[in-house]
C-alpha cells in the first residue's frame, strides 16, 4: 500500500495509506455513523459529490456482493476509514472493497484518526476536502479544495438521474424486501421521479405488487400524469434542493393534481419548497443508521436511517397547508409532514433503510393506503 | 408517558452468592437499578443473601435484608414491608426464579405485589424451552429442533429427529450446568443421566446441534409504548459449541452485512413481542450459518444478563438503570442520555471503537475439572478492553488477563 493525503479546506493535512483507485478527488466531507452497510452507503446516489468518513473503525470486513447495491456503482468521491480489513469474511462476499473501489475509480485513505476528524467536522461543520492517492502535493490539494465551488445551490441531480423512462423490474436484492401485504397493490401504477433514487426504495414500492415506472428528473408534470399514475413518488437525491427551481415547479403541479404523493429525503425538501417553505443547511448533517424520530401524533419512536445535510424549517411551512408529523428526537428538526388538503406526505429520513433499521417501513404502507383510498 | 405514581415501594432482588455462571455483574445491575429507583422517589427494599456486594451497602436502599434468597424468606419480607411492586429482572436468573416461585405460591397475589419488568408468563416462556420453542414457532421465528427427555428412551427417540451431534441440557439449570455436546450414541446415556440429575425438575432437553455456526447476541431494550432499541450487538470469536460465558466476544458484530444484521434486529423485536416482554432489557442469542446465512434464535433472557453488564460498559448505555426506569413507566424518549446530557436514550449507540472480552479460567484451582470448553460455563471472570481497532482491543485484553 502506498501513501495517501487527505486535506481539508481549513488547511489540515492527514497522511495515511491508500486503497482503491489511484486518483485525485475533491469533495464535501461528511461522516456516517452506521456500523453496518458500507456497500449500500458507497452506492447511494445521494452521496454524489461527497466523500464519506466512516466512524465505524473496520470497513471492508464483509467485502462486496451483487445484492447490496443502491445504484449501479459506487457514487461517493472518496472513502475515509480508520482501518480497511485485509481479509473478507462473509458468505455473500464476491470481491474485496479495495478491488471494487479501484475498478470504479474511487480513491480511499485508511489509517487516519477518524475520531479526531469526526470531532472536527462536528464542531466546525462540514468542509470541502481533497484526497490524493498518487502523491499530489498537499498545498496544491488544499488550493483545489478551496477553489472547488462546493454543493450549495448546485444542481447535482441532472447528472445522476436516469436518461429515460423505464419500468422497474425486481433485481437480485429484492429478495430481502418482503411486502407487508403481498399482492395488495396489484393493478396500481406508481410513477417514481428519479433524482438519484435508491434501489431499495423501488424494491419497497414494488413489494406489494404495484407496477413502478421510473422517470427522469426533468419529466414535466403533465407527461408524468399522462402515464396515469395511481401514486407519485419523489425520490432522494444528492445536493441542495435550492439548485432545482424547475423541479420545484414540477412538484407543485404534481401536488395540485391530487394524485397521492410520497416524498423521501430530497423529495421531502422539494415538497417543502413547493409549498413555500425554507431550506437551511445543517452544521454537519444527519448521516447514520441510529437516528431516533418521534411521531408527533402517537409518541412512537422509530430508529431510522438518515442521510441529509439540508432540512426544511418547520416554522416556514404555511399554516393550514401542512402539518408536522415527525421530528428528530435528537435535535427537534423536521423529519416529516403531511399536506392537509392533498393526499401527500413526506419524510426526511429513509424508511427503506438499506442500510439501517426497518422501524419506519410502514411509511410505504401508509402511502399504499392513500393510493388505495383514491382508487376506491 | 410519565412514571407510575400508583406504586410507592419496590422490592429489588439481588442474585445471591457469586458462583461460576452468575457473577458480580448482577451486583452492578442491581446497584444501578436501586439507585435509579430511589432517585425517582420510590422506597427501595433490597434483599440479597450476599453481604459482600455493593448493593447491600447501608445507604443504597431504604431497607436492606441480608437473608437467604428463598420463597419463604421473601414472603416474610413482603409480609413485613408490604411493597407495592417487585423488580425481579436485575438479579440474574435467581431473581426471576424467585418471582416465579412467589407467583406460584400465591404470595404476590396475597400481598398485592405487582411484578415490574417481566410478567410471570414471560419468565416461564423464556425459561421453559418447550414453551419457548412453541411460542417462537407460533410466530414463525426459527428455533432449533428439540424436546424434553425424562429418560434414555425418550432421549434416543429425540435423537432420531435431531441426529448427532446433539446438545443435551439440564432443564431450568443455570450457566449451562449439566449441559454437554454428544457426538455418538455411546456418549448419550451418561449425558442424559447427568442432565437429569442436575435439573431441578429432573428433565433433560435435547436439541439440534449448530456446532460451528457463528454466534451473535443482541442486547435490546423495550418500553411500554413499544419503542425498541438495540443497545449493542456482540459477536463471538469462537463458533457455536462454547458457552458464551467462555467465549471471546467482540462488540459490535464485525462479520455481518447490514441485510444480515437487520434480520437479527427484526427477529429480536419479534422475540420480545412473542415472549411478551413489555418493558426492560433482554438478551437474544442467535446462530448464523457461515455458509449460507441461515439464522436461528437460540435463546433469550428476559432480564439484565451477564452480557448486559458487558454491553453497558462497552457502550455507556446504562442498561440496568434504563430497565428500572422503563419498568416504572417511563418511555425511552423521556429518559435523558447520561453521556450527552441532552439527547434521550431512545437511540442506538454507534461505536467508533471495538470491544473485546476474554474470559479468565482458573483450572489450576480446580484439580480434576475437565478443562475442555463446551456447553457448560467454566470461566471464573473476564477482562474487557476497548481499542480503536480489533487488534488493539484484543492485545489490550490479552495483556490484562
What are all long-range contacts of B185-193, with beta carbons under 8 Å and residues at least 24 apart? B185/B156, B185/B159, B188/B152, B188/B155, B188/B156, B188/B159, B189/B152, B192/B149, B192/B151, B192/B152, B192/B155, B192/B168, B193/B152
- Shortest distance between the Cα of B257 and any Cα of chain A, in A, equals 6
Q: What is the fold, at CATH topology level, of the domain defined by B214-400?
A: D-amino Acid Aminotransferase; Chain A, domain 1 (3.30.470)
**Facing residue for B346 by CB, picked from A33, A83, A292:** A292
pLDDT value, residue B358? 97
Which pLDDT score is estimated for B16? 87
Q: Any chain B CB within 8 A of the CB of A32?
A: no
* Ordered per-residue pLDDT tens for chain B, 401 residues: 678 999 999 999 998 887 776 667 788 889 999 999 999 999 999 999 998 888 989 889 999 999 999 999 999 999 999 999 999 999 888 899 999 999 999 999 999 999 999 899 999 998 888 999 999 999 999 999 999 999 999 999 999 988 999 999 998 776 678 888 899 999 999 999 999 999 888 999 999 989 999 999 999 999 999 999 999 999 999 999 898 889 999 999 999 999 999 999 999 999 999 999 989 999 999 999 999 999 999 999 998 888 888 999 999 999 999 999 999 999 999 999 988 888 899 999 999 999 999 999 999 998 888 899 988 888 988 999 999 999 999 999 999 99
**For an interface test with A, which of B220, B230, B252, B258 has the most A Cβ atoms less than 10 Å from its Cβ?**
B258
**A297 assigned to some structural domain:** yes
Question: Which ipTM was obtained for this model?
Answer: 0.96
Residues A303, A354 within the same domain? yes
| Judgement on whether residues A137 and A221 belong to the same structural domain of the protein | no
**Which residue from B minimizes the CA distance to A84?**
B389
Rounded-to-10 torsion of CA B381, B387, B389, B392: -70
CATH topology of domain B145-208: Dna Ligase; domain 1 (3.30.1490)
| Cross-chain residue pair A90–B266, CB shorter than 8 Å | no
A103 φ, ψ (degrees, to nearest 5): -60, -35
Residues of chain B with CATH 3.30.1490.20: 145-208
Shared domain check, A181 and A105: no
Q: Verify whether the Cβ–Cβ distance B262 to A299 is below 8 Å.
A: no
Q: Which residue of B has its CA nearest to A299?
A: B225
Give domain status of residue A159, yes or no. Answer: no
Tell me, yes or no, whether A182 and A74 share the same domain: no
Cβ-based contacts of B227 with chain A (< 8 Å):
300-301
Nearest to B347 among A35, A303, A358 (CB): A303
C-beta atoms of B352 and A82 within 8 A: yes
Q: Which of A9, A70, A335, A352 is catalytic?
A: A352
Burial class (CB in 10 A: 0-12, 13-18, 19+), A287: buried
CATH of the domain at A62: 3.50.30.20
Residues A367 and A218 in one domain: yes
Q: Which residue of A has its CA nearest to B332?
A: A301
Q: Which of chain B's residues have a Cβ under 8 Å away from the Cβ of A56? A: 252, 350-352
Query: Is A260 found in the same domain as A180?
Result: yes
- Are residue A349 and residue A306 in the same domain, yes or no? yes
DSSP assignment letter at A314: G
3-state SS assignment for residue A24: strand
CATH code that applies to domain B9-116 = 3.40.50.20
Q: Where in chain B is the domain with CATH 3.30.470.20?
A: 214-400
Which residues neighbour B288 within 8 Å (Cβ) at sequence distance 6 or greater?
A: B213, B214, B215, B216, B256, B260, B264, B294, B295, B296
A64 and chain B in contact, CB less than 8 A: no
**Subunit contact A329:B344, Cβ cutoff 8 A:** yes
Determine whether the interchain pair B349/A288 forms a contact, defined as Cβ–Cβ distance below 8 Å: no
What cell does A60 get?
A: 471492508
Please give the interface size between A and B, counted as residue pairs whose CB atoms are below 8 Å apart. Answer: 124
**Which chain A residue is nearest to residue B233, measuring alpha carbons?**
A35
Are A7 and A124 part of one and the same domain? yes
Residues A173 and A120 in one domain: no
CB contact under 8 A, B348 and A68: no
Q: Please give the residue of chain A at the shortest CA–CA distance from B224.
A: A300
Tell me whether residue A157 is in a domain. no
In angstroms, rounded to a whole number, what is the distance separating the alpha carbons of residues B220 and B228?
Answer: 7
Confirm whether A352 is a catalytic residue.
yes
Residues A112 and A182 in one domain: no
Pair A321, A277: CB distance under 8 Å: no
The answer to whether position A154 is within a domain reads: no
> Catalytic annotation on A350?
yes
Positions of CATH 3.40.50.20 in chain B: 9-116
Chain B residues with CB under 8 Å of A353 CB are: 258, 262
- Determine contact: A352 vs chain B, CB below 8 A: no
Q: What CATH number has the domain bearing residue A218?
A: 3.40.50.880
Both A142 and A174 in a single domain? no
Tell me the Ramachandran region of residue B390: left when phi exceeds 0, alpha when psi lies from -120 to 50, beta otherwise.
alpha
The nearest CA of chain B is from the CA of A1 a distance in Å of 19
Q: What is the pLDDT along chain A (376 residues), one digit of tens a residue?
A: 589 999 999 999 999 999 999 999 999 999 999 999 999 999 999 999 999 999 999 999 999 999 999 999 999 999 999 999 999 999 999 999 999 999 999 999 999 999 999 999 999 999 999 999 999 999 999 999 999 999 998 999 999 999 999 999 999 999 999 999 999 999 999 999 999 999 999 999 999 999 999 999 999 999 999 999 999 999 999 999 999 999 999 999 999 999 999 999 999 999 999 999 999 999 889 999 999 999 999 999 999 999 999 999 999 999 999 999 999 999 999 999 999 999 999 999 999 999 999 999 999 999 999 999 987 6
Tell whether A275 and A132 lie within a shared domain: no
In chain B, the residue whose alpha carbon lies closest to the alpha carbon of A90 is B255
Of the residues A329, A352, A362, the best mutation for testing chain B's interface (the one with the most B CB atoms within 10 Å of its CB) is A329
Q: Is A178 in the active site?
A: no
Domain that holds residue A42: 3-147
Number of CB atoms found within 10 A of residue B340's CB: 12
d(CA B110, nearest CA chain A) in Å: 36
How many structural domains are present in chain A? 2
Amino acid at each position: 500500500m502506498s501513501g495517501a493525503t487527505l486535506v481539508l479546506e481549513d488547511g489540515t493535512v492527514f497522511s495515511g495509506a491508500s486503497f482503491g483507485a489511484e486518483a485525485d478527488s475533491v469533495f464535501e466531507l461528511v461522516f456516517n455513523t452506521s456500523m453496518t452497510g458500507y456497500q449500500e452507503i458507497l452506492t447511494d446516489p445521494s452521496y454524489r459529490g461527497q466523500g464519506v468518513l466512516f466512524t465505524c473503525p473496520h470497513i471492508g470486513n464483509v467485502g462486496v456482493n451483487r445484492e447490496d447495491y443502491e445504484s449501479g456503482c459506487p457514487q461517493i468521491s472518496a472513502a475515509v476509514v480508520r482501518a480497511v480489513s485485509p481479509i473478507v469474511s462473509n458468505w455473500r462476499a464476491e470481491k474485496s472493497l479495495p478491488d471494487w473501489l479501484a475498478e470504479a475509480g474511487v480513491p480511499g485513505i485508511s489509517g487516519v484518526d477518524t475520531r479526531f476528524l469526526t470531532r472536527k467536522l462536528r464542531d466546525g461543520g462540514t468542509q470541502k476536502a481533497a484526497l490524493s492517492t498518487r502523491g499530489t502535493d498537499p498545498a496544491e490539494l488544499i488550493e483545489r479544495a478551496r477553489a472547488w465551488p462546493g454543493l450549495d445551490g448546485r444542481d447535482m441531480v441532472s447528472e445522476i438521474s436516469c436518461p429515460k423512462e423505464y419500468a422497474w423490474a425486481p433485481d437480485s436484492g429484492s429478495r430481502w424486501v418482503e411486502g407487508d401485504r403481498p399482492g395488495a397493490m396489484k393493478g396500481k401504477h406508481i410513477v417514481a421521479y428519479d433524482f438519484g433514487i435508491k434501489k431499495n426504495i423501488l424494491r419497497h414500492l414494488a413489494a406489494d405488487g404495484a407496477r413502478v415506472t421510473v422517470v427522469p428528473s426533468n419529466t414535466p408534470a403533465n407527461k408524468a400524469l399522462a402515464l396515469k399514475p395511481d401514486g407519485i413518488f419523489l425520490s432522494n437525491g444528492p445536493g441542495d434542493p435550492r439548485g432545482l427551481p424547475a423541479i420545484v415547479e414540477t412538484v407543485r403541479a404534481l401536488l395540485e393534481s391530487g394524485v397521492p404523493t410520497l416524498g423521501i429525503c430530497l423529495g421531502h425538501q422539494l415538497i417543502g419548497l413547493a409549498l413555500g417553505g425554507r431550506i437551511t443547511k445543517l452544521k454537519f448533517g444527519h448521516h447514520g443508521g441510529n437516528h431516533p424520530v418521534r411521531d408527533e401524533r402517537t409518541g412512537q419512536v422509530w430508529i431510522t436511517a438518515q442521510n441529509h445535510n439540508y432540512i426544511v424549517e418547520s416554522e416556514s411551512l404555511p399554516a393550514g397547508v401542512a402539518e408536522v408529523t415527525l421530528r428528530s428526537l435528537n435535535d427537534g428538526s423536521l423529519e416529516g409532514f403531511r399536506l392537509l388538503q392533498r393526499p401527500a406526505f413526506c419524510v426526511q429520513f429513509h424508511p427503506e433503510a438499506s442500510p439501517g433499521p426497518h422501524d419506519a417501513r410502514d411509511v410505504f404502507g401508509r402511502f399504499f393506503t392513500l393510493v388505495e383510498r383514491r382508487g376506491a | 408517558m410519565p412514571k407510575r405514581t400508583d406504586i410507592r415501594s419496590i422490592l429489588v432482588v439481588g442474585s445471591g452468592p457469586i458462583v461460576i455462571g452468575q457473577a458480580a455483574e448482577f451486583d452492578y445491575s442491581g446497584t444501578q437499578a436501586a439507585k435509579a429507583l430511589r432517585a425517582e422517589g420510590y422506597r427501595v427494599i433490597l434483599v440479597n443473601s450476599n453481604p459482600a456486594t455493593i448493593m447491600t451497602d447501608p445507604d443504597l436502599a431504604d431497607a436492606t435484608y441480608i437473608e437467604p434468597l428463598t420463597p419463604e424468606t421473601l414472603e416474610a419480607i413482603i409480609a413485613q414491608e408490604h411493597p407495592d411492586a417487585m423488580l425481579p429482572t436485575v438479579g440474574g436468573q435467581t431473581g426471576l426464579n424467585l418471582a416465579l416461585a412467589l407467583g406460584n405460591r400465591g404470595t404476590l397475589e396475597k400481598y398485592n405485589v405487582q411484578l415490574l419488568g417481566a410478567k410471570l408468563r414471560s419468565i416461564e416462556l423464556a425459561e421453559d424451552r418447550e414453551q419457548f420453542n412453541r411460542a417462537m414457532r407460533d410466530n414463525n421465528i426459527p428455533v432449533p429442533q428439540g424436546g424434553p427427555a425424562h429418560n434414555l428412551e425418550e432421549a434416543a427417540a429425540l435423537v432420531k429427529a435431531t441426529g448427532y451431534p446433539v446438545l443435551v441440557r439440564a432443564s431450568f439449570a443455570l450457566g449451562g450446568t449439566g449441559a454437554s455436546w454428544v457426538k455418538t450414541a455411546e456418549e448419550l446415556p451418561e449425558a442424559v443421566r447427568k442432565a437429569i440429575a442436575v435439573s431441578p425438575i429432573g428433565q433433560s432437553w435435547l436439541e439440534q446441534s449448530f456446532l460451528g455456526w457463528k454466534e451473535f447476541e443482541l442486547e435490546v431494550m423495550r418500553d411500554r409504548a413499544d419503542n425498541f432499541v438495540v443497545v449493542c450487538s456482540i459477536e463471538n470469536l469462537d463458533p457455536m459449541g462454547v458457552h458464551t460465558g467462555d467465549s471471546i466476544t467482540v462488540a459490535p458484530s464485525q462479520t455481518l452485512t447490514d441485510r444480515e444484521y437487520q434480520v437479527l434486529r427484526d427477529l429480536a423485536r419479534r422475540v420480545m413481542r412473542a415472549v411478551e416482554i413489555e418493558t426492560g432489557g433482554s438478551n437474544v442469542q442467535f446462530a448464523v450459518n457461515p455458509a449460507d446465512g441461515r439464522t436461528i434464535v437460540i435463546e433469550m433472557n428476559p432480564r439484565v444478563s451477564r452480557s448486559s453488564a458487558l454491553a453497558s460498559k462497552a457502550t455507556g448505555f446504562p442498561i440496568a438503570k434504563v430497565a428500572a426506569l422503563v419498568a416504572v413507566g417511563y418511555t425511552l424518549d423521556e429518559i435523558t442520555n447520561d453521556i450527552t446530557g441532552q439527547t434521550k436514550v431512545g437511540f442506538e449507540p454507534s461505536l467508533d471503537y471495538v470491544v473485546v472480552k476474554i474470559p479468565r479460567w482458573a483450572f489450576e484451582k480446580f484439580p480434576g475439572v475437565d478443562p475442555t470448553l463446551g456447553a457448560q460455563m467454566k470461566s471464573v471472570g473476564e477482562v474487557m478492553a476497548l481499542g480503536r481497532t480489533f487488534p488493539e482491543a484484543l492485545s489490550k485484553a490479552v495483556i490484562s488477563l
